[in-house]
Amino acid sequence: MRLLPVCLTFVLACFSPTTWAAHGYALWGELKYPPGFTHFDYVNPQAPKGGEMRLVSNLRTSTFDKYNPFTIKGNAPAYLSGLMFDTLLTGALDETAAGYGLLAEDVTVAPDGLSATFRLRPQAKFHNGAPVVAKDVKHSYDTLMGPHTSPAYKTALEDVAGLDVLDDRTVRYRFKKPNRELPLTVGGLPVFSHQWGAGKPFNEVVMDEPIGSGPYKIGPVRFGKDITYVRNADYWAKDLPVRKGSANFDRIIVKIYKDNTARLEALKAGEFDLMRFFSAGDWARRVTGKKFDSGELVKLELKHRLPSGFQSYVLNTRRERLKDVRVRQALGLAMDYEWMNRQMFYNAYQRVNGLFGNTDCQATGQPSADELALLNRWRGQVPDTVFGPMATPPRTDGDSSLRGNLLKAKQLLADAGWVYKDGALRNAASQALELEYLDSNESGARVVTPWIRNLEKLGITLRFRPVDFALYQQRLQKFEFDITSMAFGGTHNPGQEYADLFGSKAADTEDSGNFTGMKSPAVDALITAMTAAKTKAELLPACRALERVITHSHVLVPQWTAGTHRLAYSALRLAKPETMPPYTQGAEAWALDTWWAK
């Protein structure tokens, strides 16, 4: 698990000179929802409870072998964490960088920014009926910081000095230094009972049913076929403003299918009610049939306002052949995105550019004076191109062409010491430039093959290597790959999580998110500047400078992104609010949270 709740931060300018308890926090300004609000605008507060939703897991592996979503080894069922574990704070889906009390009834940030105090709601309780108390919050934090969970937690919480229990209902997080995101980063951590696992080492808590405080519990399970989550009729928070109109289904059944074709045919046969689509080909050509013609099944394409993220081919710079930035840039020049979008994607996507597309952090044009003030000290340690116009992915339309890009790539490779000899591109030691693309799905070959063909024209061999998901996961954890593909989520408010993705310490930490192997003092310093920003005016130069360094380092070959969520659902069985909130991470997440049964 590498996704941490980092969208929650605090109100007014970083730290106020006075201290008071608040119902929620906003990063750079006013909260949308004032004290005493009754419900979020995007829900139906009168939505009926009952019925069921049947959906399908879209995880790369649908099967599961544990109920613990926090440990490193194994696979937990889809949606388990969000349905079963409450957090101190929760965000709204129609605003960014804001959070409201869930388990916590109020939050107080110290004037010096070195601590945040949370007071728990007296009615909060776990599924076993026990109250949620301060020692459970501390146990959860200590466990997540322990040896058996993802290193991403340690990275995101690196500047947390500790957690103190002040009384049964009050905890105080202490911070090593002021950091605009930390109070609500800790507020977004899952809280579970200290009784879960009965005191066993956390890596031995495998099939023990989680003791959380969320709206659902685990119901019937048919291994290899499906898992059912059952709504807790006694859910303690069902009448809170942040939960009103949500968790409406009595049962959520997550079905398991072996591949995309089986999932799609099962949808058409009416075996489940909702499915999100990631394949442009499926959406354009195969989401058809009698049930769609009759209106029983409906296709929705919903515009959102999410950051574009940076889905990319990841180049592992730990590998000797990928250490030279010129080689990495040449690999990117061989990718013909425009052809792929026309011929394979039905023009459904836009090219990813940088880390922070569709946000205020996106860098464009020449560096500003504020950006240069952060970058100048690193001259000679970052690519010289960082100080010029922002890099853009190579194109093959208009005045550009694949042939022209390949000629540029050939020169870059020659400058790096690679020349064509004896049927392959070789270095001074006569070693061929051969690389492996690692994937967990054989169908991925379709998308990679055009890139492979173009690389062959340069004398580069890129072999497609599909492996089963368990081995794929193991090799990623140990960074045993040359190239793979990753869908990195974006954010409007980047922070400490980027140390897990690109920080030097994470590069040497097994199972971290630093797949590129990036180790750069400049990157480390820019991430520190970004997380230490006390105003948006301080944040923007830091995140834009960071984007320039990463992009010009060519450790990622940018892929594509979509400005919509694509969803097919049963109009006979499901009802929904009129509009989707603009910042929902996925249409199925919106459906799970706010739809209801007819």
Question: What digits encode the pLDDT tens for the residues 106-154?
Answer: 988 888 889 999 999 999 999 999 999 999 999 999 999 999 998 889 9
What are the tens digits of pLDDT across the range 422-447? 999 999 999 999 999 999 988 889 99
pLDDT of residue 21: 63
pLDDT of residue 174: 97
Domains, the chain, in order of start with CATH, read 24-249 (3.40.190.10), 259-306+563-598 (3.40.190.10), 312-561 (3.10.105.10)
pLDDT of residue 104: 96
pLDDT of residue 19: 46
Give me the helix-helix angle, 536-552 and 521-532, nearest 10°. 160
- Region 51-56: what's the mean pLDDT? 96
pLDDT of residue 77: 93
CB atoms within 10 A of CB 453: 12
- Region 54-60: what's the mean pLDDT? 77
pLDDT of residue 469: 87
Nearest alpha-carbon partner for 582 in 573, 590, 574: 590
Provide the pLDDT confidence category of residue 255 given band limits of 50, 70 and 90.
very high
CB atoms within 10 A of CB 205: 21
Residue 401's alpha-carbon distances to 208, 338, 339, 395, in angstroms, are 57, 10, 10, 7
- Region 340-365: what's the mean pLDDT? 94
pLDDT of residue 181: 81
> What is the Rg, in whole angstroms, of the alpha carbon atoms belonging to the chain?
25
pLDDT of residue 20: 52
Q: 192 with 140: CB under 8 angstroms?
A: yes
Give me the helix-helix angle, 402-415 and 445-457, nearest 10°. 70
Task: Name the residue with tokens 């999932």.
Answer: 263
| Residues near 461 by beta carbon (within 8 Å), at least 6 away in sequence | 424, 432, 433, 434, 435, 455
What are the tens digits of pLDDT across the range 509-549? 999 999 999 999 999 999 999 998 888 899 999 999 999 99
User: Taking 80 as the threshold, does the pLDDT of residue 4 lie above it?
Assistant: no
pLDDT of residue 18: 34
Provide the pLDDT confidence category of residue 13 given band limits of 50, 70 and 90.
very low
- Among left, alpha and beta (phi > 0; psi -120 to 50; other), residue 12 is left
pLDDT of residue 311: 95
Report d(CA 170, CA 180) in Å as an integer: 21
Report d(CA 594, CA 208) in Å as an integer: 29
pLDDT of residue 62: 60
Average pLDDT value over all residues in the chain: 92
What's the pTM?
A: 0.81
Report d(CA 1, CA 511) in Å as an integer: 10
- Among left, alpha and beta (phi > 0; psi -120 to 50; other), residue 588 is alpha
pLDDT of residue 7: 30
Task: Name the residue with tokens 């685990």.
Answer: 218
Provide the pLDDT confidence category of residue 53 given band limits of 50, 70 and 90.
very high
- Among left, alpha and beta (phi > 0; psi -120 to 50; other), residue 50 is left
Question: Which H helix or E strand runs over 347?
Answer: none
- Region 219-230: what's the mean pLDDT? 93
